[in-house]
Structures are given as C-alpha cells and as structure tokens.
Amino acid sequence: MAVSSCPVEIIDNASEVKMIGTALFTGAVNATAQVTGVGAKLAAVTAGALSTASLSSTTGAQLSTARDVDSVTALTLTPTGAAAATVLVELSPDNSTYSTLLTITDPISGPVVIIPLTVHVPAGWYLRLTTTNSTIGTTTYW
C-alpha cells in the first residue's frame, strides 16, 4: 500500500490557521488521511488588550485551552539573611504530572531582583510557579 505525506494547515471558517502538521495518505482510490505531528495550535491575537492572569504559588494555571500561548510573568526575588529566594517553574498536561523547566535562585543575602519570566505554554497545559521569598506579578499572555 502506497503512503504519501504532505504538510497541512487546519483553517477555521474565518481563514485563521488553527493547527499545523503533516497529513499521511494511504490507498489509491478514496484515499484516507490521518493528520500526524500536529504542531502549535495557532489563533493569533489580532485586536484588543493582551490577556492576563494572576498566578498563585503552588497552584497550576491553565492559560488557554484553545491555543498555545507565550507568557511573561514578573517575578520579584527577595532573599533574606537566612534564606535564598527561589522560583520553581513547571509545566503539566493534566495538572497532576509536572515537569520542571527550571529553578531560579537568588542566594542568601543577595539583592532584590525583578525577573521577567517567559514561558511557552501549550494549549490545555498548566503552568505552575512555586515560590520561596518571592512574589509573582501579573502574567500577560498572547
């Protein structure tokens, strides 16, 4: 059975690209197609203000179920003379199984630092920040 493939874009009624991937075609007459390797879900912000969310330490936040988003969160790390300031950054597909992306650390007695944290969050996934001696600012995403 012959198999061929080609790149595809899944487009909605408003002609906006919603997904990209590869279509695999099998058979000759009345071929069937299966979309594989689906990439980013796309639905660009075209007007209005960017969306925002307030994240709480240790609680996962689902920024969008419809599309992948890029997010920016201002983090204020305020270490003390006895303890470092840390932010653990994690992603999860199900709000249960989290994968660590990175841990940001400002050492004991270090200066107060404000960091813009940028994270790409896949559609339907959860972003979780766990802080010690740190403050989470507003998360803006698009």
Q: What pLDDT, in 10s, does the model give residues 18-37? A: 555 555 445 554 444 444 44
What's the mean pLDDT in 31-45?
54
Confidence of residue 46 (pLDDT cuts 50, 70, 90): confident
Query: Is 110 inside a domain boundary?
Result: yes
My answer on whether 60 and 113 are in the same domain is yes
How many domains is the chain built from? 2
78 and 30 within one domain: no
Check residue 5 and give its pLDDT: 55
**Residue 25 falls inside a structural domain:** yes
Reported as a single tens digit per residue, the pLDDT across 70-121 is: 999 999 999 999 999 999 999 999 999 999 999 999 999 999 999 999 999 9
Asked whether residue 7 is assigned to any structural domain, the reply reads: yes
Which residue segment(s) compose the domain that 14 sits in? 3-36
pLDDT band for position 45 (cuts 50, 70, 90): confident
Alpha-carbon torsion angle 26, 31, 37, 38, nearest 10:
-170
- 42 located within any domain: no
Q: For residue 66, tell me if it sits in a domain.
A: yes
Residues 137, 74 contacting (CB under 8 angstroms): yes
Would residue 44 count as lying in a domain?
no
How far, rounded to the nearest angstrom, does the alpha carbon of residue 21 sit from its chain's CA centroid? Answer: 19
